Amino acid sequence: MSSMRVVVFASQKGGSGKTTLAGHIGVQAELAGAGPVALIDTDPQGSLAKWWNCREAVTPAFIHSVFTNLVHDLDEARAQGFKLVVIDTPPAVTKAISEVISFADLVVLPTRPSPHDLRAVGPTIDICEARKKPMLFALNAATARAKITMEAAVALSQHGTVAPVTIHNRTDFAASMIDGRTVMEIEPDGKSADEIRELWEYIDARLLRRDMRAAESSEVVPLRRNVNALGREVPAFGRRAN
């Protein structure tokens, strides 16, 4: 079992907050001791790369990669000892994005609580199901105490797991992306920082459960020896091993 985890942020809908959440989760994972963490930006617009280039902090690391070289770059990241790789994807549904999702240990689908965003999640869900990848909806940019937020959570829950923490729409998220920082670095005691920490804790718990299941499935159960009344081993032909 690989010790490196891969989390992919994917959404067909532009403006879902994929890049902001990917950067914030990468930083929070590093702060929480889950690193070393690396970020990969597969979006041709390069928004995550531009944000990272503005950062003064040296962590998380950034891996310059493209779709066609992703296999090699992930292998190299694993060899260099990275424990988590967070991948941002373009706002589209293509064969290339399907390939990226194939490397994921968990796919996070940021979704704004709006009718347009809810209608757009279908194709991404289809890719995750076709690739048999676990997915998680993250309600993002929500308005506090808005009825539609709860309605969106209920609607999404019909298709998969919804993170129990909602990321609300606050200006500090946009402000933090200007100079390569995060809300945890701008206002560590603020509500936005608390929400990101809670979202990472939930993602981490999901990954841990997956790691445990993978470990259990890879365990080799030794067969019991067949012995006779004198304690001598005898062939097990025609007998069911138990």
Helix (H), strand (E), coil (C) string for the chain: CCCCEEEEECCCCCCCCHHHHHHHHHHHHHHCCCCCEEEEECCCCCHHHHHHHCCCCCCCEEECCCHHHHHHHHHHHHHCCCCEEEEECCCCCCHHHHHHHCCCCEEEEEECCCHHHHHHCHHHHHHHHHCCCCEEEEECCECCCCHHHHHHHHHHHCCCEECCCCCECCHHHHHHHHCCCCHHHHCCCCHHHHHHHHHHHHHHHHHHHHHHHHHHHHCCCCCCCCECCCCCECCCCCCCCC
Q: What is residue 225's predicted lDDT score, i.e. its pLDDT?
A: 52
Encode pLDDT of 95-121 as tens digits: 889 999 999 999 999 999 999 999 999
The side-by-side arrangement of strands in the sheet containing 37-41 is 61-63, 37-41, 84-88, 5-9, 106-111, 135-139, 161-162
Q: What is residue 238's predicted lDDT score, i.e. its pLDDT?
A: 40
Cβ atoms of 33 and 113 closer than 8 Å: no
Q: What is residue 239's predicted lDDT score, i.e. its pLDDT?
A: 39
In angstroms, the CA 30 to CA 36 distance is 6
pTM greater than 0.85 (yes/no)? yes
Rounded to 5 degrees, φ, ψ at 107 are -110, 125
pLDDT range class, residue 157, cuts 50, 70, 90: very high
Cβ atoms of 26 and 55 closer than 8 Å: no
Chain centroid to CA 98: how far?
Answer: 15
Encode pLDDT of 189-241 as tens digits: 999 999 999 999 999 999 999 888 888 876 655 554 555 555 555 444 343 43
User: Which CATH architecture describes the domain 5-218?
Assistant: 3-Layer(aba) Sandwich (3.40)
